[in-house]
Amino acid sequence: MEAALDLMRRIPPKKSETALNALLSLLPHHSSDLLSQVDLPLQVSMDDASMKEFLLCEYNRDADSYRSPWSNKYFPPLEDGPLPSEELRNLEVEANEIFSIYCDQYYEGGISSVYMWEDDNHGFVACFLIKKNGSKGGQDKRGNLQEGSWDAIHVIEVSPDEDGIAAHYCLTSTVMLSLTTENKTSGNFKLAGSIRRQMNLDLSMAEGHLCNMGRMIEDMESKLRNSLEQVYFGKTREMVCTLRPPPEGVQICLPDSRPI
Amino acid sequence: MAECSDEAQAELSDKEKKDIAVWFLSNAPVGEISYVAKDIRALIGDDKLYDMAASEAFPRHNKAHLLILELPDRSGDVIITGHGEIGKNQYLEPRTAQVATVDHIKQVCTGLRPAMDDELPSPYIEEFRYALDVELCKYVAEAYPKGISAVYCTRGKDIDGPGNDFEFVAIISASKKSPRNFCNGNWRSVWTFEFKDETQLVGVKGKIQVAAHYFEEGNVQLDTKNEFNDSTIFQSPEDCAVQLTNIVRHHEYEYFQSLEASYLHLPDGMFKDLRRKLPITRTLFPWHNTLQFSVTRDISKELGIGK
């Protein structure tokens, strides 16, 4: 598995789907590990019942069908597909509504979905997904092509304490980002990447789970966004400048590195 | 996954496993093929298959990435490229007129011999090649701290006087490997010069590729390329050399500038379009304020903004 994960860190991010499929066929017995530890850009499907789009991932899948967070139904339809308990479903519904507003505020568009399910230890796991496609829809008038996409996957394991006052939250977040521009003067410019981080917090449940989870996610997304912009993209730019230093007198191109 | 192994595809055939290994090796970022090799060898679990895949993938990878190898006698470096491939695993180093034998998988030179007369250009052609090589060398030394260049005659090397067309390919390869800093990258330029007797022009075609990979707790890759066209007058070897090098210098500098411009534009352009740093309210999201949510929700519905 270690070899498999190392490979995924080296293969170009845009080819991760092909890479993952190859690994799955080489290591069929590790498929559930691979699927849970390797993230791919999210796919979208349509919930015909509520006429809304929803995101697909391992956490809302059963066989070849996916459960929509809006109508709580499986598409294509499935008999006996697992559903969250009523109590959890209520939380899930509220989470989806609030998260979609959060999504509008930060992403000004984009699609969001939240899925929850019970785990074995009296707690539950929630998965918050966002997909934003920033393509400028093909070429603009100067023949410039610009495409971009942001996929965020946040999985939170919630374990309430025995005393019922606080809970432990373990958040694992992955952001996958891709930016492509193509025009006559600069040719083809592609920057793509993914990063993953974890955050563990013990919080009082006074304001409720959603508040706690929401704040963690917001904090994490900001950190990841900054990290991608400054550190990751900055490092690749630094590499270009190392290979071919800019002439004297041109401003230094090293970004000021801030800690993640 | 509900149903798994029973229904899963039959065990992969040897050919399929080899093809997968070749795919992974071919897609390794610059300077990382040995790490990818170690991983894929462990996963394939069959050394014979791995060796087959490696002998297919390594030469291709080395040529595509313009691998630079030091010559065994330390007289210089040889660039691994199809343009200089004389025979299987044999590569010409035009400046010192030697041919290196290369082990692609170990990525070292295993042998060296002087080039034979029929592997080298005629004196007439060599005059042009040598002049261009000298000029380019000067340029590469000032522009690239770790760059290596070479000029190959790819067509017409036996021409012994004016009245015929010939073609050169100049290669510039610079790479930086910092695995401890989780960063690798390279710059590859391939310039083709077509000397046309009838029009007395030299057609210039260039292709530059830059790649970088940063992978500390993540995986971010830069992959860029561009192509250029230009031309100049067919003159004496020295004058051609200076002119052609100027053309190369000009286009490469402009390309570098445009890369910088793309990076500078990122924060305010595409990045912001994907996710803002803060909402338009300039405050963090009010998670605790559910009343605001219902209001916002209703407004969104009224304005038809809701999804």
Strand partners, A180: A147, A190
Dihedral, CA atoms, A178, B211, A38, B20, nearest 10 degrees? 130
A113, two tokens: 């979905």
Does the structure show a pLDDT above 50 at A150? yes
> What is the C-alpha separation between B207 and B43, in angstroms, rounded?
36
Q: Quote the DSSP letter at residue A228.
A: I
Q: List all residues 6 or more positions away from B64 whose beta carbon is below 8 Å from its beta carbon.
A: none
- Cβ atoms of B1 and A35 within 8 Å: the answer is yes
> What is the C-alpha separation between A221 and A110, in angstroms, rounded?
15
B31: nearest CA partner in chain A: A10
Check CB contact under 8 Å for B262 and A186: yes
pLDDT value of position B295: 52
Regarding pTM above 0.95, the answer is no
pLDDT value of position B10: 56
Name the residue type at position B206: G
B100, two tokens: 């290196």
pLDDT tens digits, A85-96: 999 999 999 999
B chain contacts of residue A228, beta-carbon cutoff 8 Å: 220
Question: Greatest CA span in chain A, whole angstroms?
Answer: 69
Angle between the B123-143 and B237-265 helix axes, to the nearest 10 degrees?
Answer: 30
Flag whether residue A17 sits within 8 Å of chain B, measured between CB atoms.
Answer: no
Mean pLDDT, chain B cut into blocks of 10 residues (307 residues total):
43 86 92 91 90 93 93 90 92 93 93 92 93 95 92 91 92 92 93 94 95 89 93 92 94 92 79 86 82 53 48
Check CB contact under 8 Å for B43 and A4: yes
What average pLDDT does the segment A147-172 reach?
A: 92
A25/B306: higher pLDDT: A25
> What is the C-alpha separation between A217 and A212, in angstroms, rounded?
9
pLDDT value of position B297: 55
B174, two tokens: 């610079």
- Provide φ and ψ at A98, rounded to 5°: -65, -40
B chain contacts of residue A32, beta-carbon cutoff 8 Å: 1
Instruction: Name which of B81, B118, B117 is nearest B100 in CA terms.
Output: B81
pLDDT value of position B228: 94
Given the DSSP bridges, would you call strands A124-133 and A43-47 parallel, antiparallel or unpaired?
Answer: unpaired
- Provide φ and ψ at B120, rounded to 5°: -105, 160
> What is the C-alpha separation between B107 and B89, in angstroms, rounded?
11
pLDDT tens digits, A209-250: 999 999 999 999 999 998 888 887 888 899 999 998 887 654
pLDDT tens digits, A174-201: 999 888 888 877 788 898 888 889 999 9
The secondary element (H helix, E strand) that includes residue B196 is strand B183-196
Does the structure show a pLDDT above 70 at A107? yes
pLDDT value of position B68: 93
- Cβ atoms of A96 and A112 within 8 Å: the answer is yes
Residue B219 is nearest to which of A13, A222, A225, comparing CB atoms? A13
Residue A34's pLDDT band (cuts 50, 70, 90): confident
Phi-psi region of A122 (alpha: psi -120 to 50; beta: other; left: phi over 0): left
Q: List all residues 6 or more positions away from A177 whose beta carbon is below 8 Å from its beta carbon.
A: A148, A149, A150, A151, A192, A193, A194, A228, B274
Strand partners, A116: A126
**Residue carrying structure tokens 């990878």:** B61
- Provide φ and ψ at B239, rounded to 5°: -65, -40
pLDDT value of position B301: 54
B109, two tokens: 């030179």
> What is the C-alpha separation between A191 and B46, in angstroms, rounded?
35
Check CB contact under 8 Å for A148 and B273: yes
> What is the C-alpha separation between A30 and B145, in angstroms, rounded?
45
Phi-psi region of B245 (alpha: psi -120 to 50; beta: other; left: phi over 0): alpha
Residue B227 is nearest to which of A108, A181, A187, comparing CB atoms? A187
| DSSP-derived 3-state class of residue A165 | coil
pLDDT tens digits, A40-49: 889 999 999 9
